[in-house]
């Protein structure tokens, strides 16, 4: 009631509003350009997937060759969509939690444009045959130094915001964000330096091993903490309850910090690099279940008993789905990384790709959608136009990613992998087995792409300030009274 | 948790695995001692420096840029990691008429001169570690067949009558579905240039159609790639100290 | 709103540069690690060349021993003892002053 609002609360509201206003342009830019890259990435993904079962699709032009289109699909997904969604979330969340208005919005926005320009050129370079082919380092060689410079100019302000934060308790999301802000350059820069700058000074097989470490570390040590930070913010905020256990939150954080950097080299199991590297990678990938369970239990227990809120709130619904995706990723990743399973899944179709999509879309992107559905109304001062668009986005995404990740990723990995390993199955027969799974992935992507048509359209409307002016947030279900009026 | 403990913890928890898993292995692997043949076990001495044919570094770059590693692996895994040694013609030739069983796991020197080893993502297509060897065998078989059909000895076949593995690779790069209709390998038609036949055909050109006066000349990338692929022979001999085959015998029998 | 005492330009400046330094720390460490291992990097060409170079040097040394002594003038010429160059000729009796032959020649001149 109005009389209960204290002057402190009014000040807080004013501060929050000023923070949101100061960050409106860079945050909206990152989210909308990220969504556009997601759309492009999904189109490339559908083309790549179609090419994997119908090579004649779109003719014989070199630009659409599977190798190039697949590389462009992953590069745009990771650096176009995922990185920018992460940046938008990081800068907003750190500003809010540190209660600091951003004074460098202009710089961040300009650098955001530079980031987009660089990856546009890089993606065209890949399609024209200038890519490197190295997984997660697909762009031509000149791209990564520019990306890391852009990153400095985006991320450092959030570090400063944390440092000059108004006094008080540091919230768990801030620890995750700070960690992500430092882990990204440590992994990205040292990974690229070892694999690319020192390409002629190192051993080729070890370069492949470090590349495998790089992929895993980018996921575990950048995308994962950003998504977790977002979940730890949204779940309590929307339900109005405190996080279930702060000790568990810290345990989960340190478990991730200790386990994460070891993982990755199980991808090159059997290669002539020291065996302990391969097994350490496998062990760490399996142990990732520990931080995942910590976060999962914490976030899901925070929302226990609030299933109505989860159902109604777009941001909470996507976040909870994302956290379930985190647990699925950890379990699936653990199964696929076990050395006995690796025999089958290492080179199986979907053994890596299915897992990566589950991780990047089923977990990370779902959490990012949750963040975007939460943040955009606050920075634009408008509400989402239609709950129906959000619902379509949700269900089609869920269906698509579960289909791809679990069905094609796991089943495909083991079925195809078995035929590759069985000594009495000739090569042609294992190639035949692929068909079901490659077609399945195409179908899965079509669902995800359709989901994101709704998302992109909706986000574009918000960016154009065509959202609803309302004091009530857009919810996903009408609240039907379950009890008759007394 | 204070900010100070946070940073100490973060740096320590990252630096230790980074050193152990990334930095020190990188440093050590770039200075690996080259194995030496042993007089007693191998019957000869000297360094193990297998000679590689073809354009390894150039070709490797084209192979990567085209995303070949997305569908083809290049790794014969030891038995702890997979059954590659038992798969037909993956790790070598099981019953080579001259050399016997040449199958072996991949070793570090198989990827020499390649700045990035294309171990590969999936096996949507066959493993290519010994593609060059398989083409060698195919060349011998095709020549034998032609010789038999013509009623001459293989040595008496003219160059034009002999099977040309390089042309076979170009044919595959141009249209993989010509040999195998179910292949999902992309056509790399952009690597070839259609040009009019001027006088005699170019020696490495694919003929589109004898009646039209056009031929397909492989461009630089196609040549590099074909040279690289035909050089993929990773079943050569290794020093006794690196030989993990069950049937290995010391050269001097001691 | 109470003033935020932590938010000073100095603190921001410090954080900016320390932050940047920390961002770069592992890249710098990577370069240091690579440079720490320089001596042992052997490549196959050098290794293959070792046996060849050894043989070449051995043969060259033996040849030099058999060759007679000379001193290097430093300007591309060498100083040699005449008998080393002409020794064989001397043995064959080819180095004497020409003397009238005692053999009659076949042709008679008027």
Q: Which CATH number is B88's domain given?
A: 1.10.760
Instruction: Identify the closest residue of chain B to A191 by CA–CA distance.
Output: B22
**Is it the case that residue B244 has pLDDT exceeding 80?**
yes
Note whether C48 contacts B: Cβ–Cβ < 8 A.
yes
Whether residue A164 and residue C12 make contact (CB cut-off 8 A), yes or no, is: yes
∠ at Cα A12 (A7, A17), nearest 5°?
A: 125
Q: What is the DSSP string of A29-43?
A: HHHHHHHHHHHHHHH
Would B38 be classed as within a structural domain?
no
Whether residue B65 and residue A61 make contact (CB cut-off 8 A), yes or no, is: no
Task: Map residue A379 onto helix, strand or coil.
Answer: helix
ipTM: 0.93
Note whether B244 contacts A: Cβ–Cβ < 8 A.
no
- Residue B110: its chain A contacts at CB < 8 A? 272
> Could you tell me which of B252, A397, B200, B27 has the C-alpha nearest to residue C33?
B27
Q: How many Å lie between the alpha carbon of A14 and the closest alpha carbon of chain C?
A: 10
Specify the pLDDT at position A422: 86
Q: What is the DSSP letter of B85?
A: G
- For chain B, what is the domain count? 1
Instruction: Identify the closest residue of chain B to A139 by CA–CA distance.
Output: B65
Whether residue B27 and residue C37 make contact (CB cut-off 8 A), yes or no, is: yes
Q: What pTM was computed for the model? A: 0.90
Q: What is the DSSP string of A319-359?
A: HHHHHHHHHHHHHHHHHHHSHHHHHHHTTSTTTTHHHHHII
Whether residue A152 and residue C20 make contact (CB cut-off 8 A), yes or no, is: yes
Note whether A261 contacts B: Cβ–Cβ < 8 A.
yes
Q: Give the other-Cβ count within 10 Å of B136's Cβ.
A: 16
Task: Map residue A468 onto helix, strand or coil.
Answer: strand
Residue B207 pairs with which residues in a beta bridge?
B215
Note whether C61 contacts B: Cβ–Cβ < 8 A.
no
Positions in chain C whose pLDDT score sits under 70: 1-3, 38-40, 67-69, 83-85, 95-96, 108-110
Exposed / middle / buried, residue B17 (Cβ in 10 Å: 0-12, 13-18, 19+): buried
Q: Per-residue b/e over A438-452, b at no fewer than 16 CB within 10 Å?
A: bbbbbbbbbbbbbbb
**Average pLDDT in the B212-226 region?**
87
Q: Do residues C37 and B30 make contact, with C-beta atoms less than 8 angstroms apart?
A: yes
- For chain A, what is the domain count? 1
Would B1 be classed as within a structural domain?
no
In whole angstroms, how large is the CA radius of gyration of chain A? 22
Q: How many Å lie between the alpha carbon of C8 and the closest alpha carbon of chain A?
A: 8
Instruction: Identify the closest residue of chain B to A350 by CA–CA distance.
Output: B122
At residue B254 the predicted structure's pLDDT band, cuts being 50, 70 and 90, is very low
- Residue C26: its chain A contacts at CB < 8 A? 185-186, 189-190
Substitution target in C11, C14, C42 with the highest count of B β-carbons within 10 Å is C42
Chains with 3+ CB–CB pairs under 8 A to B are A, C
Q: Per-residue b/e over B49-66, b at no fewer than 16 CB within 10 Å?
A: beebebbbebbbbbbbbb
Instruction: Identify the closest residue of chain B to A265 by CA–CA distance.
Output: B21
Q: Structural domain of residue A364, as residue ranges?
A: 14-463
Q: In Å, how far are A156, A207, A272, C38 from C34, measured between CA atoms?
A: 27, 13, 20, 8
- Residue C22: its chain A contacts at CB < 8 A? 182
Sign of the C-alpha dihedral, residues A259, A265, A269, A274?
negative
**Is it the case that residue B246 has pLDDT exceeding 90?**
no
pLDDT tens for chain A, 486 residues: list them. Answer: 555 678 888 888 898 999 999 999 999 999 999 999 999 999 999 999 998 888 888 877 888 899 999 999 999 999 999 999 999 999 999 999 999 888 899 999 999 999 999 999 999 999 999 999 999 999 999 999 999 999 999 999 999 999 999 877 899 999 999 999 999 999 999 999 999 999 988 899 999 999 999 999 999 999 999 999 999 999 999 999 999 899 999 999 999 999 999 999 999 999 999 999 999 999 999 999 999 999 999 999 999 888 888 888 999 999 999 999 999 999 999 999 999 999 999 999 888 899 999 999 999 999 999 999 999 999 998 899 988 999 999 999 999 999 888 888 788 888 888 888 888 887 778 888 888 888 989 999 999 999 999 999 999 999 888 888 877 788 877 655 556 665
Which of A62, A133, A277 comes nearest B188 by C-beta?
Answer: A62
Note whether C94 contacts A: Cβ–Cβ < 8 A.
no
Would B180 be classed as within a structural domain?
yes
Note whether C44 contacts A: Cβ–Cβ < 8 A.
no
> Could you tell me which of A227, A362, A368, A373 has the C-alpha nearest to residue A314?
A373
Which of B15, B27, B49 comes nearest C47 by C-beta?
Answer: B49
Specify the pLDDT at position B31: 86
Q: How many Å lie between the alpha carbon of B82 and the closest alpha carbon of chain A?
A: 5
Residue B192 pairs with which residues in a beta bridge?
B218
Would B90 be classed as within a structural domain?
yes
Chains with 3+ CB–CB pairs under 8 A to A are B, C
Specify the pLDDT at position C1: 60
Would A476 be classed as within a structural domain?
no
Specify the pLDDT at position A146: 97
Would B118 be classed as within a structural domain?
yes
Would B247 be classed as within a structural domain?
no
Specify the pLDDT at position C39: 65
Q: Which CATH number covers residue A286?
A: 1.20.210.10
Give the DSSP H/E element, type plus range, for residue B242. Answer: none
- The pairing of strands C78-80 and B206-207 is unpaired
Exposed / middle / buried, residue A247 (Cβ in 10 Å: 0-12, 13-18, 19+): exposed
Which of B13, B29, B88 comes nearest A258 by C-beta?
Answer: B13
- Residue C45: its chain A contacts at CB < 8 A? none
Q: Structural domain of residue B231, as residue ranges?
A: 49-187+222-237
Would B211 be classed as within a structural domain?
no
Instruction: Identify the closest residue of chain B to A417 by CA–CA distance.
Output: B123
Would A129 be classed as within a structural domain?
yes
Q: Do residues B124 and C56 make contact, with C-beta atoms less than 8 angstroms apart?
A: no
Whether residue B64 and residue A434 make contact (CB cut-off 8 A), yes or no, is: no
The residue with tokens 């440079």 is C35
**Is it the case that residue B209 has pLDDT exceeding 70?**
no
Specify the pLDDT at position A191: 96
Q: Where are the domains of chain C?
A: 43-92
| A–B interface: beta-carbon pairs under 8 A | 226
């Amino acid at each position: 009631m109005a009389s209960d609002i204290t002057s402190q609360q009014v000040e807080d509201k004013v501060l929050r509003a000023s923070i949101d206003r100061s960050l409106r342009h860079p945050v909206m830019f990152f989210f909308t350009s990220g969504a556009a890259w997601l759309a492009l990435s999904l189109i490339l993904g559908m083309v790549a997937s179609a090419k994997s079962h119908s090579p004649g699709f779109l003719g014989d032009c070199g630009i659409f060759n599977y190798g190039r289109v697949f590389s462009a699909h992953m590069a745009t997904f990771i650096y176009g969509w995922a990185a920018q969604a992460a940046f938008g979330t990081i800068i907003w969340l750190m500003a809010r939690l540190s209660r600091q208005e951003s004074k460098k919005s202009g710089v961040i926005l300009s650098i955001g444009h530079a980031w987009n320009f660089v990856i546009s050129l890089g993606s065209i370079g890949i399609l024209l045959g200038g890519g490197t082919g190295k997984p997660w380092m697909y762009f031509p060689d000149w791209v990564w130094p520019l990306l890391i410079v852009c990153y400095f100019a985006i991320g450092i302000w959030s570090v400063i915001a944390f440092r000059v934060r108004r006094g008080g308790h540091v919230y768990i999301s801030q620890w995750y964000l700070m960690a992500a802000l430092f882990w990204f350059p440590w992994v990205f820069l040292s990974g690229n330096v070892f694999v690319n700058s020192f390409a002629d000074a190192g051993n080729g097989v070890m370069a492949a091993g470090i590349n495998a470490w790089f992929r895993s570390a980018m996921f575990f040590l950048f995308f994962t903490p950003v998504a977790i930070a977002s979940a730890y913010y949204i779940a309590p905020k929307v339900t109005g309850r405190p996080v279930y256990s702060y000790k568990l939150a810290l345990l989960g954080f340190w478990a991730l910090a200790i386990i994460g950097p070891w993982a990755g080299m199980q991808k090159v199991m059997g290669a002539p690099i020291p065996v302990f590297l391969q097994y350490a990678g496998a062990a760490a990938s399996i142990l990732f279940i520990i931080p995942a369970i910590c976060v999962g239990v914490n976030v899901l227990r925070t929302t226990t008993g609030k299933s109505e809120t989860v159902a109604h709130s777009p941001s909470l619904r996507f976040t909870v789905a994302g956290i379930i995706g985190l647990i699925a990723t950890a379990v699936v990743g653990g199964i696929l990384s076990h050395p006995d399973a690796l025999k089958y899944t290492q080179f199986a179709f979907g053994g890596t790709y299915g897992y990566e999509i589950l991780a990047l879309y089923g977990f990370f992107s779902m959490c990012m959608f949750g963040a975007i559905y939460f943040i955009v109304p606050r920075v634009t001062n408008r509400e989402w136009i239609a709950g129906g668009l959000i619902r379509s986005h949700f269900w089609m995404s869920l269906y698509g990613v579960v289909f791809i990740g679990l069905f094609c990723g796991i089943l495909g990995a083991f079925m195809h992998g078995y035929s590759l390993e069985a000594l009495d199955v000739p090569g042609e027969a294992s190639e035949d087995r692929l068909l079901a799974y490659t077609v399945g992935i195409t179908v899965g992507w079509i669902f995800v792409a359709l989901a994101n048509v709704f998302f992109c359209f909706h986000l574009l409307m918000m960016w154009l300030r065509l959202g609803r002016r309302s004091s009530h947030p857009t919810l996903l279900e009408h609240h039907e009274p379950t009890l008759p009026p007394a | 948790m204070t900010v100070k403990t946070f940073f100490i913890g973060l740096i320590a928890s990252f630096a230790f695995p980074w050193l152990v898993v990334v930095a020190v292995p990188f440093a050590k692997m770039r200075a690996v001692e080259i194995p030496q043949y042993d007089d007693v076990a191998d019957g000869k001495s000297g360094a193990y420096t297998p000679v590689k044919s073809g354009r390894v570094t150039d070709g490797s770059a084209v192979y990567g840029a085209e995303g070949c590693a997305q569908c083809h692996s290049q790794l014969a895994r030891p038995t702890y990691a997979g059954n590659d040694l038992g798969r037909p013609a993956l790790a070598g030739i099981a019953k080579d008429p001259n050399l016997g069983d040449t199958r072996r796991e991949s070793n570090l020197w198989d990827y020499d001169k390649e700045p990035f080893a294309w171990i590969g993502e999936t096996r949507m297509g066959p493993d290519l570690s010994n593609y060059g060897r398989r083409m060698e065998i195919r060349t011998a078989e095709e020549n034998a067949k032609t010789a038999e059909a013509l009623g001459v000895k293989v040595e008496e076949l003219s160059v034009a009558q002999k099977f040309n593995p390089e042309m076979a690779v170009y044919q595959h790069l141009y249209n993989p579905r010509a040999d195998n209709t179910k292949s999902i390998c992309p056509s790399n038609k952009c690597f070839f240039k259609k040009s009019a036949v001027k006088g005699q055909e170019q020696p490495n050109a694919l003929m589109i159609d004898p009646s039209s006066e056009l031929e397909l000349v492989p461009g630089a990338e196609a040549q590099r790639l074909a040279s690289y692929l035909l050089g993929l022979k990773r079943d050569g001999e290794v020093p006794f100290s690196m030989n993990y085959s069950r049937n290995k015998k010391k050269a001097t029998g001691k | 709103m109470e003033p935020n005492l932590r938010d000073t330009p100095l603190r921001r400046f410090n954080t900016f540069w320390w932050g940047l330094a920390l961002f770069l720390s592992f890249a710098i460490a990577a370069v240091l690690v690579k440079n720490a291992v320089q001596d042992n990097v052997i490549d196959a060409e050098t290794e293959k060349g070792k046996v060849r170079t050894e043989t070449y040097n051995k043969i060259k040394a033996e040849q030099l021993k058999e060759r007679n002594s000379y001193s290097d003038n430093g300007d591309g010429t060498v100083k040699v003892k005449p008998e080393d160059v002409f020794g064989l000729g001397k043995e064959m009796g080819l180095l004497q002053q020409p003397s009238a032959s005692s053999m009659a020649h076949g042709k008679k001149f008027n």
